């Protein structure tokens, strides 16, 4: 481990001197568990701890195995912390907590080669945890295990079991994630009606190993409320789309879901009516959202802020909508990136906590994960500051995944998840691309070891 850490220190200093990101190497460093009781100290870092506080220079992060045991000014570092420890001097470098992508899909349909490639790019791109928003959980559970045990280079994975109305299960994606069984009749993807035994349905979702239930589509408001009530009785979170069709945004938020996905779905609250099903979605009512803050939407945001509901905004998705609309002008997008950005800005000003989800995958030739695009969107289009966005991508993301106790900020007792940068992201959020290394659960992944993705790995879904 000492040799690896010395190499990391050299790479960090070289990156700072050149002002550039080290070039990728041919193969990744093996992900090996640390020896029992192994300790490391990262010294002289400029620390952005994820809480929203100011940058602190000349700090030290003390690690014991996979946990942080102390964060202290380097001048106050006790001699005992250095005795027998691997020491890495990161002077001139910047450290942020490990990033969290709160909206991904790694197994729709299952493709282990593709999933591992995308996850590899995520980890070497600073992403130490993801929230998988409903897939074939047979595959996701195995990948989650492999990541947690260090068999593959990947972020930690926290995933959802899906619930939707019966009419949703003619969607071809549900067939892809339920091969060999009946879509809607399996624990990870359940069709819910008024006659559903809700305590059993929630218990079945929990039995998959999921972190939460995802309430998705084609259910009335009363059904969404019943899911949330029973899930919370069993101390289980519920993540949901902002509109569930025909359940309105007001009904979804009023039901008390923990995290709301896709900011533009909230715009359906000012439409003449909410579409009757996911399959019948239409563009939002642009004319009612064209000028300034809409008071109806503002009421939804105030309610979310009051109850601590997190907005998984997925801003970059709407850039893809714009691209499709440009390619096919005859088909207007459900929502535009401009409207999404204005709604995110309104949500933030109302006090809503915003997490950073992507719901998409960059092409194989892109060196950085799609989460970097989301951070840039939130700063350059949605008027968030870099400090706010870093907090969204770390501490708020941890809360969205239900993992705040273990991650999301750099402080004693939490997992050793952080990213070392050659340049200051508070000055320019695009400096998130200056990664020198990622540390996940105390294991170092130098950027120089990143193996770029290939088109063969991503396959036809690219």
* pLDDT tens sequence across 388-445: 999 999 999 999 999 999 999 999 999 999 999 999 999 999 999 999 999 999 999 9
Query: Looking at the predicted structure, is the pLDDT value of residue 26 above 70?
Result: no
Residue 15's pLDDT is what? 42
pLDDT in tens, 195-223: 999 999 999 999 999 999 999 999 999 99
Element (H, E) at 440: strand 435-440
- Tokens found for residue 142: 């195995």
Task: Name the pLDDT band for 11 (thresholds 50, 70, 90).
Answer: very low
C-beta neighbour count of 156 within 10 angstroms? 22
Q: Are 373 and 355 in contact (CB under 8 A)?
A: no
Q: How far apart are CA 447 and CA 129, in angstroms?
A: 17
Residue 387's pLDDT is what? 97
User: 254, exposed or middle or buried, with CB in 10 Å at 0-12, 13-18, 19+?
Assistant: middle
- Mean pLDDT in residue range 369-378: 98
C-alpha closest to that of 316 among 362, 385, 366, 254: 362
Q: How far apart are CA 399 and CA 384, in angstroms?
A: 19
Q: Which CATH class is domain 31-98+408-449?
A: mainly beta
pTM attached to this predicted model: 0.92
- Tokens found for residue 225: 């409320």
Q: Are 132 and 159 in contact (CB under 8 A)?
A: yes
Query: Looking at the predicted structure, is the pLDDT value of residue 124 above 70?
Result: yes
Mean pLDDT of the chain: 92
The domains of the chain are located at 31-98+408-449, 99-407
DSSP symbol at 83: T
Residue 35's pLDDT is what? 43
Residue 358's pLDDT is what? 98
Q: Are 396 and 378 in contact (CB under 8 A)?
A: no
Residue 291's pLDDT is what? 84
∠196-200-204 over CA atoms, to 5°? 115
pLDDT in tens, 285-324: 999 998 889 999 999 999 999 999 999 999 999 999 999 9
- Beta strands (DSSP E) in 94-234 are 94-97, 99-104, 127-132, 156-164, 185-186, 189-191, 212-215
Using left for φ > 0, alpha for ψ between -120 and 50, and beta otherwise, residue 65 falls in: left
**Alpha carbon of 204 to those of 185, 197, 208, 220, 362: distances in Å?**
11, 11, 7, 21, 34
- Tokens found for residue 366: 């892109």
Residue 212's pLDDT is what? 98
Q: How far apart are CA 134 and CA 462, in angstroms?
A: 19
The strand pairing partners of 86, in sequence order, are 40
DSSP symbol at 24: P
Q: Which residue has the tokens 């939490």?
A: 414
C-beta neighbour count of 266 within 10 angstroms? 29
DSSP symbol at 415: B
Task: Name the pLDDT band for 38 (thresholds 50, 70, 90).
Answer: confident
Residue 444 in 3-state DSSP?
Answer: strand
State how beta strands 56-64 and 310-312 pair.
Answer: unpaired
Q: Which residues of 360-372 are buried (b: 16+ CB within 10 A; e: fewer)?
A: bbbebeebbbbbb
% the chain with pLDDT above 70: 91
Residue 3's pLDDT is what? 42
Q: Which residue has the tokens 């009606």?
A: 193
- Tokens found for residue 226: 């019943």
- Mean pLDDT in residue range 43-66: 96
C-beta neighbour count of 455 within 10 angstroms? 11
Query: Looking at the predicted structure, is the pLDDT value of residue 34 above 90?
Result: no
Task: Name the pLDDT band for 461 (thresholds 50, 70, 90).
Answer: low
% the chain with pLDDT above 90: 88
Using left for φ > 0, alpha for ψ between -120 and 50, and beta otherwise, residue 308 falls in: left
Q: Mean pLDDT lowest for which of 23-37, 258-272, 343-357?
A: 23-37
Residue 197's pLDDT is what? 98
Residue 459's pLDDT is what? 87
CATH architecture of the domain with residue range 99-407: Alpha-Beta Barrel (3.20)
């Amino acid at each position: 481990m000492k040799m690896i850490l010395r190499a990391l220190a050299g790479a960090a200093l070289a990156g700072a001197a050149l002002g550039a990101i080290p070039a990728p190497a041919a193969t990744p460093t093996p992900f090996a568990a640390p020896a029992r009781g192994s300790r490391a100290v990262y010294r002289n870092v400029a620390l952005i701890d994820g809480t929203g506080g100011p940058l602190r220079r000349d700090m030290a992060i003390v690690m014991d195995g996979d946990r942080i045991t102390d964060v202290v000014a380097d001048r106050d570092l006790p001699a005992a912390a250095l005795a027998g420890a691997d020491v890495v001097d990161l002077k001139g470098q910047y450290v942020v907590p490990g990033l969290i992508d709160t909206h991904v899909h790694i197994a729709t349909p299952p493709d282990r080669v593709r999933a591992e490639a995308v996850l590899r790019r995520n980890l070497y791109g600073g992403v130490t945890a993801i929230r998988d928003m409903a897939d074939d959980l047979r595959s996701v559970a195995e990948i989650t295990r492999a990541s947690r045990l260090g068999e593959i280079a990947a972020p930690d994975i926290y995933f959802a079991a899906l619930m939707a109305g019966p009419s949703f299960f003619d969607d071809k994606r549900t067939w892809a994630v339920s091969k060999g069984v009946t879509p809607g009749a399996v624990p990870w993807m359940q069709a819910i009606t008024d006659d559903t035994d809700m305590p059993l349905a929630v218990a079945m979702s929990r039995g998959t190993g999921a972190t939460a239930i995802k309430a998705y589509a084609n259910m009335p408001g009363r059904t969404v409320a019943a899911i949330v009530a029973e899930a919370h009785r069993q101390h289980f979170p519920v993540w949901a789309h902002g509109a569930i069709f025909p359940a309105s945004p007001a009904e979804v938020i009023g039901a008390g879901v923990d995290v709301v996905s896709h900011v533009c779905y909230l715009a359906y609250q000012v439409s003449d009516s909410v579409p009757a099903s996911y399959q019948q979605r239409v563009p939002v009512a642009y004319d009612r959202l064209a000028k300034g803050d809409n008071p109806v939407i503002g009421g939804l945001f105030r309610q979310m802020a009051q109850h601590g509901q997190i907005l998984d905004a997925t801003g970059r998705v709407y850039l893809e909508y714009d691209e499709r609309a440009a390619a096919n002008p005859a088909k207007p997008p459900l929502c535009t990136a401009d409207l999404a950005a204005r709604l995110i800005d309104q949500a933030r000003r109302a006090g809503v906590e915003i997490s950073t989800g992507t719901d998409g995958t960059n092409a194989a030739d892109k060196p950085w994960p799609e989460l970097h695009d989301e951070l840039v969107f939130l700063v350059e289009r949605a008027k968030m500051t870099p400090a706010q966005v870093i907090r969204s991508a770390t501490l708020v993301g941890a809360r969205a995944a239900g993992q705040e106790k273990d991650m999301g900020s750099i402080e004693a007792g939490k997992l050793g998840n952080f990213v070392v940068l050659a340049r200051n992201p508070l000055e320019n959020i695009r400096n998130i691309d200056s990664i020198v290394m990622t540390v996940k659960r105390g294991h170092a992944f130098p950027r120089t070891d990143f193996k770029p993705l290939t088109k063969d790995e991503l396959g036809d879904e690219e």
